[in-house]
């Protein structure tokens, strides 16, 4: 069974000014000869501790400071030859380049070459929130609660709750989504071996890519399908349209058939204007349009299979254990926070935490949940009586 949880970081979130000042100072300390370049910068006295002394309630003063700091950062970067640096030094310089650009845009009426900048009215998709821990990211535990930290992905044995593999990633980004990391966990789980197993997960793991990968590996996906969107509340979904892969066409609930383009697009156009079912289908004046994405057939087949009572019984019986494993991993005595900085260094400690926590709980129930290998040999002896 697959699941994930957010682990809070151990560092404070930094604003744009703090990140720029801190990273310019760091480059001056760690890069040979950069201290001379930093001393010549005019946007701020970087030898002076703390944040710049300005009227922080004055928006114009803040904008001028940000513009000066970004200009300083770009000047410093222009004076450094990255080809002579070590890997660690290159990372330091690259981080300065990142924080100098992620939160700003050219000021009104200026151009990038003019050197005037302002805070952008948007948040970068993969924004670094601290130069102390560049791997930490903004995350949402729920729609209401925002946290900063990492995402811990785990796979467990669904009867005992034993964690058999774990991965720690940044908390944001499509590459770190549950579905993107799901097959990596299945592959990393050495307890599976050559067996074909049921892979359980909630709707976050219902992507077509993951379903296809699980099927290609010979496993069975017991994954809750994501809910289908409706253009009109109570109206039709994509499952009300019939896809014919032989003729490469799509037929709507009213019986109108249209060809699918090579990109998987279809348009019903003017035929929708006089259709009695239009109010259940679309609000578009130009008529219903459809886009079938890759693995659409696999997702459709999976949604049909998920309606089987046996599928639903397996899901209800076996998937909830992974939530208990996460509860063991993040219980108050262990804290829901990563104990080390940077994801690469945390991987060991976070991976071992669920092993330790769930092993104890798994052993407590071994009398009723014995673990047996493929040859029938007991891997843990049952409790007497």
Residue 171 in any domain: the answer is: yes
Residue 305 in any domain: the answer is: no
Residue 227 in any domain: the answer is: no
163 burial class (0-12, 13-18, 19+ CB within 10 angstroms)? Answer: buried
Q: What is the pLDDT of residue 50?
A: 84
Angle at 43 between CA 40 and CA 49, to 5 degrees: 85
At residue 126, what are phi and psi to the nearest 5 degrees?
-120, 50
Please tell me whether residues 214 and 142 are part of one structural domain. yes
| End-to-end CA separation in angstroms for the chain | 30
Among residues 49, 84, 119, the one where a domain terminates is 119
Residue 71 in any domain: the answer is: yes
Residue 41 in any domain: the answer is: yes
Please tell me whether residues 36 and 98 are part of one structural domain. yes
128 near 117, Cβ under 8 Å? no
Alpha-carbon dihedral sign for residues 299, 304, 307, 312: negative
Burial per residue of 230-255, b for 16 or more beta-carbon CB atoms within 10 angstroms, e otherwise? eeeeebbebeebebeeeeeebebebe
Residue 256 in any domain: the answer is: yes
112 near 106, Cβ under 8 Å? yes
CA distance 182 to 209: 10
Among residues 66, 91, 119, the one where a domain terminates is 119
Mean pLDDT of the 283-309 span:
93
Q: Which residue has the tokens 């400690």?
A: 349
Burial per residue of 186-208, b for 16 or more beta-carbon CB atoms within 10 angstroms, e otherwise? beebeebeeeebbbbbbebbbbb
Residue 303 in any domain: the answer is: no
What does the pLDDT look like over 215-262, one tens digit per residue?
Answer: 999 999 999 999 998 989 999 999 999 999 889 999 999 999 999 999
Residue 293 in any domain: the answer is: yes
Please tell me whether residues 114 and 253 are part of one structural domain. no
The lowest-confidence range among 275-279, 281-285, 293-297, 340-344 is 340-344
Cα–Cα distances in angstroms (integers) from residue 329 to residues 83, 149, 153, 188, 325, in the given order: 43, 16, 12, 19, 6
As a whole-number percent, the residues of the chain with pLDDT over 90 amount to 49
Q: What is the pLDDT of residue 363?
A: 38
**307 pLDDT higher than 90:** yes
Give the domain range for residue 260.
238-298
341 near 350, Cβ under 8 Å? no
> What is the number of domains present in the chain?
3
pTM of the model: 0.71
Please tell me whether residues 284 and 333 are part of one structural domain. no
Q: What is the pLDDT of residue 371?
A: 43
């Amino acid at each position: 069974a697959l699941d994930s949880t957010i682990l809070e970081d151990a560092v404070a979130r930094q604003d744009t000014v703090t990140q720029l000042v801190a990273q310019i100072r760091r480059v001056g300390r760690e890069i040979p000869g950069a201290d001379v370049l930093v001393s010549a910068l005019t946007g701020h006295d970087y030898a002076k501790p703390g944040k710049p002394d300005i009227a922080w309630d004055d928006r114009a003063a803040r904008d001028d400071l940000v513009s000066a700091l970004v200009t300083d950062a770009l000047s410093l970067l222009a004076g450094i030859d990255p080809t002579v640096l070590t890997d660690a030094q290159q990372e330091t310089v690259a981080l300065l380049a990142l924080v100098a650009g992620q939160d700003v845009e050219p000021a009104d009426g200026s151009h990038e070459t003019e050197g005037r900048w302002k805070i952008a009215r948007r948040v970068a998709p993969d924004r670094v929130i601290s130069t102390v821990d560049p791997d930490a990211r903004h995350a949402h535990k729920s729609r209401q609660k925002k946290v900063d930290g990492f995402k811990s992905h785990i796979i467990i044995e669904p009867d005992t709750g034993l964690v058999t593999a774990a991965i720690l990633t940044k908390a944001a980004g499509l590459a770190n989504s549950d579905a993107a990391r799901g097959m990596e966990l299945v592959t990393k789980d050495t307890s599976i071996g050559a067996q074909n197993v049921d892979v359980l997960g909630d709707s976050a793991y219902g992507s077509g890519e993951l379903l296809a990968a699980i099927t290609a590996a010979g496993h069975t996906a017991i994954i809750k399908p994501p809910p289908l969107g409706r253009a009109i509340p109570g109206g039709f979904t994509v499952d009300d349209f019939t896809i014919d892969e032989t003729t490469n066409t799509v037929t709507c609930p009213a019986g109108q058939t249209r060809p699918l383009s090579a990109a998987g697009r279809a348009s019903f156009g003017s035929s929708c204007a006089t259709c009695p079912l239009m109010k259940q289908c679309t609000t578009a004046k130009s008529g219903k349009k459809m886009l079938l994405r890759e693995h659409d057939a696999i997702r459709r087949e999976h949604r049909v299979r998920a309606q089987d009572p046996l599928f639903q019984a397996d899901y209800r019986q076996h998937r909830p254990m992974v939530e208990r494993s996460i509860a063991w991993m993040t219980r108050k005595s262990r804290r829901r926070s990563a104990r080390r900085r940077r994801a690469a260094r945390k991987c060991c400690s976070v991976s071992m935490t669920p092993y330790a926590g769930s092993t104890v709980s798994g052993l407590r129930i071994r009398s009723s949940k014995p673990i047996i290998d493929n040859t029938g040999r007991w891997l843990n002896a049952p409790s007497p009586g």
